[in-house]
Amino acid sequence: MFEEEIRFIRSLYGQGRVPLHEPSFFGNERKYLDECVDSTYVSSVGPFVDRFEHDVAAYTGAARAVVCVNGTSALHMALLLSGVERGDEVVTQPLTFVATCNAISYTGAVPVFVDVDADTLGLSPVKLRTWLESNADLSGGECRNRTTGRRIKACVPMHTFGHPAKVDEIASVCREFGLALVEDAAEAMGSLFHGRHAGTFAGVGALSFNGNKTITTGGGGMLLFQDADLGAYAKHVTTQARVPRGWAFVHDQVGYNYRMPNINAALGCAQLECLDAILADKRETAEAYKAFFAGRRGFSFVHEPDGARSNYWLNAVLLESREMRDAFLGETNGCGVSTRPAWELMNRLPMFGECQRGDIANALDIEARLVNLPSGVRRKEMSCVS
Ligand SMILES: *Cc1c(COP(=O)(O)O)cnc(C)c1O
């Protein structure tokens, strides 16, 4: 039934097994890893850690960037630094990877689900306002849930598949209701919204460098700050809150061992040098999909939102129905072409099933019909500047 689609994907990715997204190493990865091993500084201190933080801050325009062992720990830290406490509520979208809600849970807070926009797949500022207006009371600068009585402390939009959410409008609703804004930009390395890098609109943003993301450190994450002092504090808390006192071990609060090892940061430095080349390759693939699916009945390609430049981390199409989606998933995966459905919505998972939610019509519709397509880098060679 889908021979033509499969033939087209194979024309992009070849005849063998086609993965959804593989890492690609074209630059100084081996060189930096060798340097790192030769230096013996493979663990949680070393020059690549500082350099990777510096380079990511420069690339994204953040005032400070702080490495973490993975994106989930970066999100956990971002929520703690935003003042989220046990018993609070945090608004997020039901269409996201489970790590967003796990990080909220680690703080002892509970998620509340507000719908996504159909054009961005990210949290809807209009539905956020609507939900807050009918469910929350503002008093003394604090936002409280009328039903549960709990404080609503923060809001976490997620830039789905690298497509930026409407963060400017979300930020203004958050300001109005006294909510801290935390951006889950795990999927959005290299994505811009009105020319500004995803993850730099909020007080704190989090990136992921897991192996399936646009660039990888093996495992890893990064916190992005607009406030350099808060960034410096994050460095302290993510490194066991150790106070510099010569050789003595002195710690001034409960800290976390969340720092990325130097060997992972070495990989990150090399990957970052290739990011623009990787983004150009992924954009070409997205354009090819877009042109192909424009002529296919029953398929609608998910293109970057107006005013945004997506990294096209994972390309996606919406099919006509859940039945057609299931048939497409079956046929493609059956012949070695990896495609994936959207995540099960968070409100359907057992641990978040009781969480409060607004109208989530768009998320339900997208979940039923969306399929992610193979999206890895296609070039076999590229030159990365150093
Ligand atoms: C990948 C991802 C994370 C977490 O990243 P890890 O580095 O795997 O911990 C968080 N949120 C979203 C939306 C992600 O896609």
CATH superfamily to which 3-24+275-372 belongs: Aspartate Aminotransferase, domain 1 (3.90.1150.10)
Among positive and negative, which fits the CA dihedral 282, 288, 294, 300? negative
Question: Is 29-273 in the same CATH topology as 3-24+275-372?
Answer: no
Predicted pLDDT at 141 = 83
How far apart CA 56 and CA 65 sit, in angstroms, is 7
Give nearest CA residue, ligand 1 atom 10.
Answer: 99
- Tokens representing residue 153 in the block: 């402390």
Q: To test the ligand 1 pocket, which listed residue (67, 98, 100) has its Cβ within 8 A of the most ligand atoms?
A: 100
Give the closest residue to 343 by CA, choosing from 315, 313, 363.
Answer: 363
20, with CB counted inside 10 A (0-12, 13-18, 19+), is: middle
CA distance 129 to 144: 14
Burial of 72 (0-12, 13-18, 19+ CB in 10 A): buried
Distance CA 136, CA 158 (A): 22
Q: How many whole angstroms separate alpha carbon 39 and alpha carbon 31? A: 12
Q: What is the domain partition of the chain in residue ranges?
A: 3-24+275-372, 29-273
pLDDT at 44: 83
Question: pLDDT tens string for the chain (386 positions)?
Answer: 999 999 999 999 999 999 999 999 999 999 999 999 999 999 988 999 999 999 999 999 999 999 999 999 999 999 999 999 999 999 999 999 999 999 999 999 999 999 999 999 999 999 999 999 999 999 888 999 999 999 999 999 999 999 999 999 999 999 999 999 999 999 999 999 999 999 999 999 999 999 999 999 999 999 999 999 999 999 999 999 999 999 999 999 999 999 999 999 999 999 999 999 999 999 999 999 999 999 899 999 999 999 999 999 999 999 999 999 999 999 999 999 999 999 999 999 999 999 999 999 999 999 999 999 999 999 988 888 65
Pocket test for ligand 1, best of 104, 184, 271 (most atoms within 8 A of CB): 184
Q: Which residue owns the Cα nearest ligand 1 atom 7?
A: 71
Query: What residues contact residue 87 under an 8 Å CB cut-off, 6+ apart?
Result: 108, 109, 150, 151
Q: What residues does ligand 1 touch, defined as CB less than 6 Å away?
A: 70-72, 75, 96-97, 99-100, 158, 184, 186-187, 208, 210, 221
**In the block, which residue shows the tokens 């992005």?**
224
Kind of pairing between the strands at 152-156 and 89-92: parallel
The one-letter amino acid at 178: G
**Predicted TM-score of the model (pTM):** 0.97
Ligand 1 mean position, distance from CA 98 (Å): 8
Task: Check: CB of residue 278 under 8 Å from CB of residue 384.
Answer: no
The CATH number of domain 29-273 is 3.40.640.10: yes
